[in-house]
Amino acid sequence: MEFKTLTQQRSALDTGQISAVELTQYYLDRIKQQDDTINSFITVTESHALAQAKAADAVIAANKQGPLTGIPLAQKDIFCTQGIKTTCGSKMLDNFLPPYDATVVKKLDAAGMVMLGKTNMDEFAMGSSNETSYYGAVKNPWDHSCVPGGSSGGAAACIAAGFTPVATGSDTGGSIRQPAALCGITGIKPTYGLVSRYGMIAFASSLDQAGPMAHTAQDCAHVLAAMCGYDNNDSTSLNRTCDDVTSSLDSDIKGLKVGLPKPFFDDALNPLIAACLDEVKATLEKLGATCVDVDLPNMHLSVPAYYIVAPAEASSNLSRYDGVRFGYRCENPKSLDDLYCRTRAEGFGAEVKRRIIVGTYALSAGFYEAYYRKARRIRTLISNDFTRVFEQVDVLLGPTTPTTAFKLGEKTQDPVSMYLNDIYTIAVNLAGLPALSAPAGFISGMPVGLQLIGPAFSEAKLLNVAHRYQQVTDHHLQSPNQ
Amino acid sequence: MELQEVEQLAKLARLKIDQDHAEQLRTECSKIVALASQLASVDTEGVPAMAHPHEVSQPLRPDEVTESSCKDALMALAPAQEEGLFLVPKVIEEA
Amino acid sequence: MSWQVVIGLEIHVQLNTQSKLFSGSSTRYGGEPNTQADWIDCALPGTLPKLNQAVIPKAIKFGLATNSRINQYCEFARKNYFYPDLPKGYQTSQLDKPIVEDGFIRFCVDDANEKKVRIERAHLEEDAGKSLHEDFHGMSGIDLNRAGTPLIEIVTAPDIRSAKEAVACLKTIHTLVRYLDISDANMQEGSFRCDVNVSVMPSDSDTFGTRCEIKNLNSFKFVEEAIAVETERQIDLLESGHTIAQETRLYSPERKETKAMRSKADAHDYRYFVCPDLLPIIVSDEEIATLKAALPELPRAKRQRFVKDFALTDYDAQRLTETKPLADFFEDVVKASKANAKLVANWILGTLMSAANDENLDAYATPISAERLGLLLTRIEDNTLSGKIAKTVFAKMWESELSADEIIEQEGLKQITDTSAIEAIIDDIIKANPAQVEQYRSGKDKIFGFFVGQVMKATKGQAAPAQVNQLLKAKLSTS
């Protein structure tokens, strides 16, 4: 594809080099030809996409386009789309046709984007490899024997595979950043509350946050600008005007103070990834930043705290899947209990059940104080660590993942080893902060991600730093061999 | 975590667990709980428990009826329905 | 051995909002099934709650009227359990920080002595839907119209010591929530429902026994009956050497007994935790001050004022203040009439109320306005009408739009107060009934009524009764 990024496509559309319909058709064809292997889409919405593209062409012809008019997009299948199957990667919702659009979907529709389809994901966003999906694993476009990461694995893979320039994701413990890192793309998890959660199927309500994924930080900025904003349908949505994340992309980063948190560079980190990050550090310094070591003393508690808070909230959020009002229902229930127990046993996969059991345990009488309340106190400690460190530095730099993409099936037998894949990403969700992952190089042909973390509402700064970095590097422009 | 405990939790969470998988589930959940047990040794005396990332208060909606009947759309989604009602196996509330 | 019953109440009061606690669906009663349930009420994936602003001042008003503390930082929690009328699989409620805590109410039971019952808490929560048990091929039908209707659950301390006190306490709260205009409190429609916790202990003990909860009592009568039969059941068990199991029971009015509900396998581990979809509610000092200033005169104060200012009995004052519109009606009639307040009270609680009941109307909302009733009572006061004729006039007023004066004029019902006219009639009667006169004079006082009847018959009831009595006595004793 001649025009790989959203930014390139914008100018091609505006100058008439290509029409939105042609652009859409190009991607639909690629998906048709190649997604059998990658499995990044659960649903491809061809006619819907072509209709939207046609409408976008009319807007462009009238010279009334915005920055996103006619740009193709893949929506994670966690976002409700009116009349279009929304499964959340689960058998439970295999037949679910939402009667409404998620706010994110509404906003991106209104911005003139063209939805190509709904992407594969770990079931109810619970997973770090996209192997828990009812619709089968997604393959990493860089190596089909490897995972793309998760839970937004389909979104990351379809961008890396060249099926779409842009996708949406959601991030509860790293679900945007980890697959972005493993697939060699850019993705940002915004500050909690910046993007509405209405219509985004809940996993852990106090952690879930939607964000954009794309090849470049610049592309992410344009999509984020359209996604964020107060929504009175979501009580946790923040009532504040969105910072302008696009106009400061090119700002100089001279004098930027970058913190290197000790716990990000510990023994768990693959030394080759550490080497990639040394280069990132050198590049940022060349651009005028200064790097200092900082500490986040409670960082090591983030995974255990997360695996109490997230399952606890999930166990409650997933109680509505009971076979009564929508979704899967078991055959011939003999009693009310039988209806509940079999519907949920048959409709949910193994990972979801594990988390429901753990979450039920953490909230149950006798364990609540020791686990759930304790974990919420730890959240405060972790959040305070960040507050303290951001008094000294502007952003934090670290790896996104401890290793590059692992093999399909490698960690499915041991859930805890799977969870430890998120050691660098989870703390950010517990504190509600923004963080992005961007390509930082390759190890044996597999992408490596760098992670930038900022204080609340610092999306513009994070995207600015990543954009400046991408102006002088080309990791983000690499594509897997076809 | 004991097997009996897992079975009790599954009952609470309305998940039917077949005997073949109960032990596996027990092992996996025990590992996760063991991971979380690291928290026990941390001194959190006097640390407030965080419920939300931001210190903001609940927004309010005016008391207005904004929705009209969507019964037909609801019934179209329902796995079992009749005469505008969702059907479930008989609910026994009597003694 | 004598026993003491100990009772606590949990009262579910639907708040009278237009829309639901967390959605814009209507809370109207009696709609076609599932026509007032939106995506939020049905807990479709991705939906989130949106808090109705009207519920907070309503809950605060209840707190202020019960001398309670208003928690200015309060949170919603999820109470997790599975039931088909509970679409989310949890009820959004309040646990650690309810909006209202630690208050009390005072009320009279039989005499003027006041009883005080503590209010432990009143918290906001959402109502559940309804399971309809008509047979759908062995299935139950679920209607979610009621799901998400805002409630306050009021929990009293176990301060109540008899079924009568329980009913009086319940009636007091019922009256109060209607005064505050926070609920319709319509028991037939279920907008005011009561669970009762009952235990017994030996009269000389101060250690409470094991309690049972009797659920879903929807009339004062059932509350009284259920407590009585449950108390008896518990005493029988204890006296025959058994123990009481803590359990939830249902009362059957037909069989006059309580029965244990099928015990649930999960033994109620509700796994409460702070709802992550909702943020804390912050109530300002100003908001509380504004609501406090706007509180209406409360039933107890009104009752006391009626006794003091109008010289009513406690009983009459209690009845007249049962609802605010009735109390207002009473005061309007007093204002519109020259009659004394006692007469007004008697008429409202007697003639008017029984006529209203016959037509299923409230006494304050009949064809007889305060103005019209006031004039009628003025005519009793100024002796234009006897009480008996006034009732005839009242009946004609009910059927027409005419005033008391118009009817008196039209029908010639003016009371005869002319002494000589009455005396002439009495003379005739004495002449015509010598035997009865003889009996009276020989000491048979009872026959006096016969003479009154004869005078009234002769005057078509229009002679002023007091005058008739006086003149008759004089005539019968002198001649």
CB contact under 8 A, A326 and B48: no
The predicted-structure confidence for A145-182, as pLDDT tens digits, reads as follows 999 999 999 999 999 999 999 999 999 999 999 999 99
C296/C179 Cα distance (integer angstroms):
7
What does the pLDDT read at residue A254?
97
Question: What local confidence, expressed as pLDDT, does residue A482 receive?
Answer: 58
Which one from A19, A90, A133, A175 is the annotated catalytic residue?
A175
Which pair of tokens denotes residue C266? 């999960």
Mean pLDDT of chain A: 96
pLDDT of residue C63: 98
The count of structural domains within chain A is 1
Nearest chain B residue (CA) to A342: B16
Best C139, C216, C252, C257 residue to mutate vs chain B (most B CBs within 10 Å): C139
Give how far B60 is from chain A: nearest CA, Å.
Answer: 8
Q: Please report residues of B whose CB lies closer than 8 A to that of A353.
A: 15, 25
Give the pLDDT mean for A314-339. Answer: 97
Question: Which residues does chain A have within 8 Å of residue B52's beta carbon, measured at their own beta carbons?
Answer: 206, 236, 432
User: What are the structural domains, with CATH classification, of chain C?
Assistant: 3-289 (no CATH), 297-411 (no CATH), 419-477 (1.10.10.410)
The reply to whether A78 falls in a domain is yes
Can you give the pLDDT at residue C387?
86
What average pLDDT score do residues A423-431 get? 97
Local structure of C194: helix, strand or coil: strand
pLDDT at position C216: 86
pLDDT at C266 (0 to 100): 44
Residues of C in contact with A86 (CB under 8 A): 45
Q: Please, which contacts does C297-300 make with residues 24 or more away whose CB atoms are closer than 8 Å? A: C298/C65, C298/C176, C298/C179, C299/C172, C299/C175, C299/C176, C299/C179, C299/C324, C300/C106, C300/C107
Task: Kindly state whether C32 is in contact with chain B, defined as any CB-CB distance less than 8 angstroms.
Answer: yes
| CB spacing of C53 vs B60 below 8 angstroms | yes
Active site residue A76: yes
Q: Give me the pLDDT at residue C262, please.
A: 66
Predicted local confidence at residue C263, as pLDDT? 56
Q: Under a CB-based contact definition with an 8 Å cutoff, are residues A252 and A43 in contact?
A: no
Does B65 contact chain A (CB < 8 Å)? no
Spot the catalytic one: A19, A76, A152, A411.
Answer: A76
Burial class of C289 by CB neighbour count within 10 A (0 to 12, 13 to 18, 19+): exposed
- Average pLDDT score over residue span B19-38: 90
Picking from C296, C276, C475, C307, the residue whose alpha carbon sits closest to that of residue A193 is C276
ipTM for the complex? 0.96
- B chain contacts of residue C249, beta-carbon cutoff 8 Å: 95
Measure the CA angle with vertex B24, ends B21 and B26; round to 5°. Answer: 105
Work out the end-to-end distance of chain A between its first and last CA atoms, rounded to an integer number of angstroms.
Answer: 12
Question: Residues A235-242: what's their mean pLDDT?
Answer: 88
pLDDT of residue A399: 98
CB-CB contact of B36 with A365 (8 Å): no
Residues from chain C that touch B52, judged by Cβ atoms under 8 A, are 276, 279
> Which residues contact residue C48 at a Cβ distance below 8 angstroms, ignoring those fewer than 6 apart?
A197, A198, A233, A234, A235, A236, C40, C277
pLDDT of residue B93: 56
Digit-coded pLDDT (tens) for A335-367: 999 999 999 999 999 999 999 999 999 999 889
Contacts of A337 in chain B (CB under 8 A): 14
Cβ separation of A356 and B13 shorter than 8 Å?
yes
Put simply, whether C263 touches B (Cβ < 8 Å) is no
Of C78, C87, C265, the CB nearest to A325: C87
Query: Mean pLDDT over residues A104-117, rounded?
Result: 98
Tokens at C337, concatenated: 């009439």
Asked if C49 is an interface residue toward chain A (Cβ–Cβ < 8 A), one would say yes
Contact present, A87 and A94 (Cβ < 8 Å)? yes
What phi, psi does A84 have (nearest 5°)?
Answer: -115, 130
The CA distance from A437 to A227, in Å, is 18
- Judged by CB atoms closer than 8 Å, whether chains meet at B64 and C133 is answered as no
Q: For residue range B32-64, what is the model confidence (pLDDT) as tens digits?
A: 999 998 999 999 999 999 988 898 999 999 999
Burial status of residue A444 (CB atoms within 10 A of its CB: 0-12, 13-18, 19 or more): exposed
Q: Would the pLDDT of A188 be above 70? A: yes
Note whether C89 contacts A312, CB cutoff 8 Å: no
**Mean pLDDT of the A78-104 span:** 98
Mean pLDDT by 10 residues, chain C (479 residues): 95 98 97 97 98 98 98 96 96 96 93 89 97 82 97 98 96 96 95 96 94 92 96 95 92 92 66 96 97 96 95 93 94 95 96 94 93 94 86 93 89 81 89 89 87 87 84 81
Helices A217-227 and A103-110: angle between axes, nearest 10 degrees = 110
Catalytic status, residue A151: yes
Contact B53 A416 (CB under 8 A): no
With contact defined as beta carbons under 8 Å apart, do C153 and C10 qualify?
yes
CATH code at position A65 = 3.90.1300.10
Average pLDDT of the segment spanning A226-239: 95
At residue C411, the pLDDT reads 81
Taking contacts as CB-CB distances below 8 angstroms, the residues of chain B near A340 are: 14
d(CA C141, CA C132): 5
What confidence tier does A243 reach under pLDDT thresholds 50, 70, 90? Answer: confident
Residue A194 phi, psi dihedral angles, 5° rounding: -75, -35
Per the CB < 8 Å rule, is B79 touching A328? yes
pLDDT value at residue C267: 60
Binding-face residues of B in 21-40 toward A, CB within 8 A: 25, 28-29, 31-33, 35-40
Q: What is the mean pLDDT of residues B62-83?
A: 96
| B12 contacts A360? CB cut-off 8 A | yes
Domain that holds residue A120: 6-254+435-477
Distance from C-alpha of C426 to C-alpha of A394, rounded to nearest angstrom: 112
Nearest chain C residue to A335, by CA: C139
Could you state, in order of their start, the residue ranges of all structural domains in chain B?
3-40
d(CA A209, CA C280): 20
Identify which of B50, C21, C39 has the alpha carbon closest to the alpha carbon of residue A192.
B50
C131 lies within 8 A of chain B by CB: yes
Per DSSP bridges, beta strands A395-399 and A257-261 are parallel
Q: Least CB-CB distance to C17: which of B52, B63, B94?
A: B63
Distance from CA of C84 to the nearest CA of A (A): 7
Per-residue pLDDT at A19 exceeds 90: yes
Which residue type is seen at B11?
A: K
The pLDDT value recorded for residue C265 is 43
B–C CB contacts, 8 A cutoff, strictly below: 134
Q: Which pLDDT band holds residue B95 (cuts at 50, 70, 90)?
A: very low
Min Cα separation C214/chain A (Å): 24
Q: Is the pLDDT assigned to residue B94 strictly greater than 60?
A: no
